[in-house]
Structure 1
Amino acid sequence: MSDIVFMFEVHQPYRLDRNAYNKLLEKALRGRLEPHDLEDAIFDNGLNKLVIERASTKCYIPATKIILENIKRYANSNKPFKVAYSISGVFIEQVRMWKPEVIDLFMELRETGMVEFVEQTYYHSMAAFMPLKDWSELREQILEHRRAMKELFDYEPKSIENTEFSYNNDIAWLFSSMGYKVVLTEGVDWVLGWRSPNYVYRAYGSDIKVLTRNYRLSDDIGYRFSDRNWDQYPLTADKYASWLAATPGDVIFLAMDYETFGEHHWPETGIHEFLRWLPGEILKYNHLYTSTPSEVVDKYPARDIIDVPPWNTISWADERDLSAWLGNHMQRNAFKILVDLRPYVKALDEPEITRIWKLLTISDHLYYIATKFGSIEQVHSYFSPYKNAPDAYAIYVQALSLLAGLIAEKIEQKKYDVARKLVLPMNKAFYFYKPTGEYTGYSATNIKEFLEIISKAPAESILYHLKRGDFQAWLRSIFGLDEIADELDKISSQPLSAEEARKAVSDIIRKFLSST
């Protein structure tokens, strides 16, 4: 007996507007800018609306109606038809605005009881790969998605995928700690080795179960269906069902972009007819059933452990790694700018600015900047709304720069309040060293920690950093506290003992922060 698990990835990004700067300038000439003006300028909602309307007409509406028909057709049989959907939060926002009938269809799917909704990051982002030791951004985006699923469908997902099936042991551990029972990822050959993707596995270092996508059978539909040069063209429902019937294993996990059904393969290719007849052809086989991710991990035991160290993170894109998003210098530089803005966004705590930053975490922005070759390059070009990777990079960095400018303006208005709240990543922390170059073991990621360490770090370390101007440089460049840095500059040239330096630094910082 084998269970077929269909999972459809449903996501559309907010694409960026190459004319954002000019749009913002026009708004500025008409009066004072507000954060929502920046969001309107950065994102090309004319294009976003067009894509949603086109994809809804060609894919989301007809494909979902076909799925509904099949669920209802087999609802009262001993072999019901079941599927799973992973729907990004930003997709939900867009169809609510521009094609609400799509939401109505998903609500109808929910009512059948035959559909499982899979958790993911709300913004379909690379939050898991931000250098944050507490996973705070990833947690936030998962919880935001969880709230959206509860609000829209009154549904609490038990299964989860990280963006684009990106996965490693640490991610699995986090998902397990958050209460999910199964994580979905790619059946990568070098991870599986001699093993088949068609079984339930367990994550290394945690109890969460793992389903690995059978990428060959998935891509037969997702990529090859309309390829006339393929030696199996045309792919019919009965032929494909016979392949599934002949495939050994407990679970055949098939996952693909939902846009496969009408957008990537146009309706004229016969993809809708294929989808319409496929469930019936599968269920003709006595040993084939359809199930959802959480059902199959309850039904079958884990056969082995999947071990994916963080330094070998996998995904379902390109070379099955992270190179689709972080593979070149442009991508890594843009991602660093994005991550560097986060502490200031958190300290400002203004919802509209936070939302713009989170929208800029959408993984597609980085995907468009990839530099690949051959067939992989063709896939990136197909999805990109820009001419090439350098253009995509310039447009993305322009958006980040405009956001950074707004953040700087806001910080100037309440500099000391932000300074009190600002918590830095470890790569921006202040590290205390002795004059000999020996690390003291103390580091500060915020002003409160800094003051605490000033009171207990070796006195010679305080004097050393004061005389070198290290404290001043950190306070200026990271916090924008020029006034405090200027006062420290004045005392740094005075003849002070180490203990006098400790007291002077502490007094100056406390005075400024308590008086503003």
Structure 2
Amino acid sequence: MLITFTFEVHQPHRLYKNINKKGNNLWERYVDTNLNKEVFNKVANKCYIPANELILELIDEYDFKVNYSITGCFIEQCLEFNEYVLDLFKDLVKTGNVELIAETYHHSLSSLYENEEEFIEDIELHKKLYKDVFGVKPKIFRNTELIYNNRIAKISKDLGFEAIFTEGTEKILSWRSPNYLYQSPDGMKILLRNYRLSDDIGFRFSARDWDQYPLTADKYALWLASTPGEVINIYMDYETFGEHHWKESGIFEFLRYLPIEISKHEHLEVVNVNEVVKKLKPRGEIYVHEFATISWADTERDVSAWLGNKMQKISFEKLKEIGEFIKENKDKLKKSEKFDEIYKIYKILQTSDNFYYQCTKGFGDMDVHMYFSHFDSPFDAYASYLNILYDFEYYYIKDEMKKLNNRSDYDSKEKLIVNNDIEIKNINDNNSKECIEKNEEPKDENDKFIIA
């Protein structure tokens, strides 16, 4: 039995609750840098640094293997707020026991756009980032929040990826097990997350009302060993270690002893995800229509976490409308000094978290949404996001277009005046030349020519 441990590593660029009108540029106007720095460093000290240091030890001592999917937004914040975190990830990659999984650079919902151009662009940006920062070319792809359908699988396959990760939900499996390798109708290999065993750590580890509490490394290893199938893909937020479950819960001790306990079961082998693709053959086909798109979010495991209510849909459609305007006028906007700034903000606005904050589900799911949100309510998140969208559209993008159009009109008029001046001068020069040759006086104003 092959075992994979994959961790999603992401921090969004959180937006201001109220537009900062004193900002010197778009970033300062919309992005709450102080809040992002505070959150990042808090989580870095509680999770990223101790977890990375521990996994480096486990690799050194037990040849442990893990996989990470690290967003572009996260890496940007590493570079801005805490480069030591990024250095640790680089050290992990250098061990050869860590595989990096590609995704969308901005952790965006671009895969849900009708036009695939935006989605492909965000993936290519992420691939380039991995190459620039870590010197690696990822082989496996996982979409934002494991959002998946046949179309997404085909696009990722066309981009050269060998396999794609998604949720092992009964909605697509029915009676089948997630503990096998599958493939899409186009032949893209599919790795499925075992959500029960993943959530035992990710969600239930600290739950004192859980009938399996406390979860120990030996107990968990026994569960893995007794699970039928060919591969168990354990996939969770990296913040599980130290942030979602604090150090006092025993989560780091659990992780420390897990490789030891797994090694006691000879038929268990911890591997990187590309090894699964190499060693196993697909056991069947998974068909997911676009209208039945799945994800790993909430109990529904669909896209309702981001597009489930009217507020989210209005926000999403408005964002797409702005994107279409930018794309249609890209050549002209590129003449503006602010183009790079405008385009970066547009990308940041695509981040899925902006829509996640606007979710209005009840009870358990809503608790999770509010845990991650810096807004007081989904309605505040919606009002803030829409306010930024309209401000961005009318006071910056269209205002910049107006300036460019005015400049273009001015340049055209200037060019016309210059051309007319040249033409008049040429006519006058010719007239003077003819007069000299004929020994005549130059024509006066009544003849509509003026000597330049």
Output aligned runs, 1:22-421, within 5 Å: 23-24=20-21, 26-27=22-23, 37-75=25-63, 81-132=64-115, 135-204=116-185, 206-318=186-298, 319-346=300-327, 347=330, 348-349=333-334, 350-404=339-393, 405-415=395-405
Distance 2:9 2:97 in 1: 17
Equivalent pairs, count: 399
What fraction of aligned residue pairs are identical, expressed as a percent?
Answer: 48
Q: Is the 8 A contact 1:368 1:384 kept in 2?
A: yes
**1:67 is paired with a residue of what secondary structure?**
helix
Q: Is the 8 A contact 1:12 1:91 kept in 2?
A: yes
Distance 2:352 2:80 in 1: 22
Residue in 2 that maps onto 1:19: 18
Distance 1:373 1:260 in 2: 23
Residue in 2 that maps onto 1:499: none
Q: Displacement, 1:399?
A: 1.3
Q: Is the 8 A contact 1:117 1:157 kept in 2?
A: yes
Q: Rate the CA distance shift 1:335–1:416 in 2: closer, same or farther, 3 A.
A: farther
Q: Displacement, 1:50?
A: 0.5
Paired AA for residue 289 in structure 2: P
Once the two structures are overlaid, the 10-residue window that deviates more, 365-374 or 65-74, is 65-74
Paired AA for residue 326 in structure 1: L
Distance 1:170 1:147 in 2: 23
**1:157 is paired with a residue of what secondary structure?**
coil
Q: Is the 8 A contact 1:182 1:293 kept in 2?
A: no
Q: Rate the CA distance shift 1:240–1:152 in 2: closer, same or farther, 3 A.
A: same
Distance 2:82 2:174 in 1: 44
**1:321 is paired with a residue of what secondary structure?**
coil
Q: Displacement, 1:207?
A: 1.8
Paired AA for residue 5 in structure 2: F
Paired AA for residue 64 in structure 1: N
Distance 2:128 2:388 in 1: 28
Distance 2:125 2:263 in 1: 37
Distance 2:281 2:84 in 1: 40
**2:160 is paired with a residue of what secondary structure?**
coil
Normalised by the size of structure 1, how large is the TM-score?
0.76
Q: If you compute each CA radius of gyration, which structure gives the higher value, 1 or 2?
A: 2
Distance 1:115 1:192 in 2: 29
Question: Which portions of structure 1, spanning 4 or more consecutive aligned residues, are displaced by more than 3 angstroms?
Answer: 415-418
Distance 1:311 1:280 in 2: 44
Distance 2:12 2:49 in 1: 18
Residue in 1 that maps onto 2:4: 5
Q: Is the 8 A contact 1:227 1:233 kept in 2?
A: yes
Q: Displacement, 1:289?
A: 0.4
**1:305 is paired with a residue of what secondary structure?**
coil
Paired AA for residue 343 in structure 2: T
Paired AA for residue 341 in structure 2: E
Q: Displacement, 1:97?
A: 1.1
Q: Displacement, 1:415?
A: 3.2
Q: Is the 8 A contact 1:345 1:353 kept in 2?
A: no
Distance 2:326 2:92 in 1: 37
Q: Displacement, 1:241?
A: 0.5
Output aligned runs, 1:489-504, within 5 Å: none
**2:89 is paired with a residue of what secondary structure?**
helix
Indicate the RMSD between aligned Cα atoms, in angstroms.
Answer: 1.4
Residue in 2 that maps onto 1:472: none
**2:137 is paired with a residue of what secondary structure?**
coil
